[in-house]
């Protein structure tokens, strides 16, 4: 197990890491260990705000975007605030994404994903996100994520350079134990576990 305070040894992107530090500062002062959304002063998030998304649950228990930053809206070519995950995904992938967010909200725990994949449009994407639990204004569980993504146009690489192994390659992924454990049965998806105990 790796201590949560040592998470910076495993995340290289300083902007992604800044959310972990801000979140941890707020979590220390909460009896539940999960900070409330309104405990984050907007000025503490200024540098990463375009990359931040806040999630909650609908009355039907669907995962919904409560708030999205401008980078995320541009990435998906629409303002996702108020939309459910079905606005960006379908089928088996939607089910996996929904289960992922439910686990973060209800365990509660966090997760870091850094992966690369080739999209349907031929772009090579590098996708990095850190998701941590949050208590929303109405007292219900939610989550907060910071997302960085970069797409490389197909003209910038030769067709043969993208091997089938690279079409979906996890670079570094792990669950983050904030004191409540981590979900069971994900050893094949997440290769490392982080604990603050």
Q: What is the pLDDT of residues 16-55, one digit of tens each?
A: 888 988 898 898 888 788 999 999 888 888 889 999 999 9
Closest CA to 141 of 110, 104, 176, 174: 104
What is the DSSP pairing of strand 110-118 with strand 192-195? unpaired
Give kind and range of the element (H or E) at residue 31: none
Q: What is the pLDDT of residues 56-71, one digit of tens each?
A: 999 999 999 999 999 9
> What is 2-195's CATH number, 3.50.50.60, 3.40.50.2020, 3.30.450.20, 1.10.10.10?
3.30.450.20
pTM, rounded to two decimals: 0.82
Q: What is the pLDDT of residues 95-138, one digit of tens each?
A: 888 999 999 999 898 888 888 777 667 777 788 899 999 999 99
């Amino acid at each position: 197990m790796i201590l949560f305070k040592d998470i910076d040894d495993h995340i290289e992107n300083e902007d992604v890491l800044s959310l972990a530090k801000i979140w941890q500062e707020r979590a220390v002062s909460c009896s539940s260990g999960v900070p409330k959304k309104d405990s984050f002063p907007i000025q503490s998030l200024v540098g990463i705000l375009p990359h931040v998304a806040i999630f909650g649950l609908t009355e039907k228990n669907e995962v919904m975007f409560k708030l999205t930053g401008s980078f995320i809206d541009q990435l998906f070519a629409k303002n996702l605030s108020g939309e459910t995950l079905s606005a960006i995904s379908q089928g088996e992938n939607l089910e996996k994404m929904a289960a992922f967010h439910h686990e973060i909200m209800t365990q509660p725990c966090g997760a870091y994903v850094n992966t690369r994949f080739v999209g349907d449009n031929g772009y090579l994407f590098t996708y990095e996100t850190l998701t941590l639990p949050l208590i929303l204004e109405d007292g219900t569980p939610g989550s907060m994520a910071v997302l960085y993504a970069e797409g490389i146009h197909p003209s910038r690489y030769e067709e043969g350079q993208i091997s089938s192994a690279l079409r979906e390659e996890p670079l570094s992924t792990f669950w983050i134990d904030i004191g409540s454990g981590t979900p069971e049965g994900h050893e094949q998806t997440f290769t490392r576990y982080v604990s603050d105990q």
